[in-house]
């Protein structure tokens, strides 16, 4: 009986988490950027001073949300210390010898680049004892860009 109650609790929590993710993904479509949001309705989340324009602030906020949902379980939120995955600060610099698309492809599906023998992908893979990163095929280039903006600003 206790196992059934525990299973029901886990199922309920899973559905709540899925519902929250759907709300977070769908909500931006319903908020028009033309409408002024009252000060009292704005989030209290602090955007770093280096983010100076509204468009970049929106990208940063999206990147922060996506980072928490997709990356934070393996990458340290301070961006400078390794965790399960490597520290992410300076990631664009480490991939600067290659087109930005390669970095985005790495984030979406590292295994694909490793299989193709991409030099940077293979280098990171070998540095991390051939551990592979989860694939995030659901992310768009715009979402990956937002994550990278968030990483670089933090």
> Which CATH number fits the domain that encloses residue 116?
1.10.760.10
Model pTM above 0.75: no
Q: Which domain covers residue 108, as residue numbers?
A: 35-153
Read off φ and ψ for residue 78, nearest 5 degrees. Answer: -80, -5
Q: What is the torsional sign of CA 136, 154, 64, 79?
A: positive
Does residue 4 lie within any of the structural domains?
no
Does residue 67 lie within any of the structural domains?
yes
Confidence (pLDDT) at 50: 61
Distance CA 134, CA 70 (A): 9
Confidence (pLDDT) at 54: 79
Does residue 47 lie within any of the structural domains?
yes
Does residue 19 lie within any of the structural domains?
no
Confidence (pLDDT) at 109: 97
Lowest mean pLDDT among 17-26, 41-50, 68-77, 89-98: 41-50
Domain count, the chain: 1
Does residue 5 lie within any of the structural domains?
no
Instruction: Write the pLDDT tens digit of every residue in 52-106.
Output: 677 888 999 999 999 999 999 999 999 999 999 999 999 999 999 999 999 999 9
Does residue 65 lie within any of the structural domains?
yes
């Amino acid at each position: 009986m206790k196992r059934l109650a525990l299973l029901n609790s886990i199922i309920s929590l899973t559905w709540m988490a899925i519902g929250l993710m759907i709300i977070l993904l769908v909500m931006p479509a319903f908020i028009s950027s033309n409408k002024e949001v009252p000060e009292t309705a704005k989030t209290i989340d602090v955007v770093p001073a280096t983010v100076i324009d509204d468009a970049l602030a929106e990208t940063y906020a999206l990147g922060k949300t996506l980072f928490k949902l997709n990356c934070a379980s393996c990458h340290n939120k301070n961006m400078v210390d390794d965790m399960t995955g490597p520290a992410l600060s300076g990631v664009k610099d480490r991939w600067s010898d290659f087109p930005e698309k390669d970095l985005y492809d790495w984030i979406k599906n590292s295994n694909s680049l490793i299989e193709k023998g991409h030099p940077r992908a293979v280098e990171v893979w070998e540095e991390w004892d051939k551990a592979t990163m989860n694939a995030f095929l659901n992310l768009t280039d715009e979402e990956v860009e937002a994550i990278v903006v968030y990483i670089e600003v933090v």
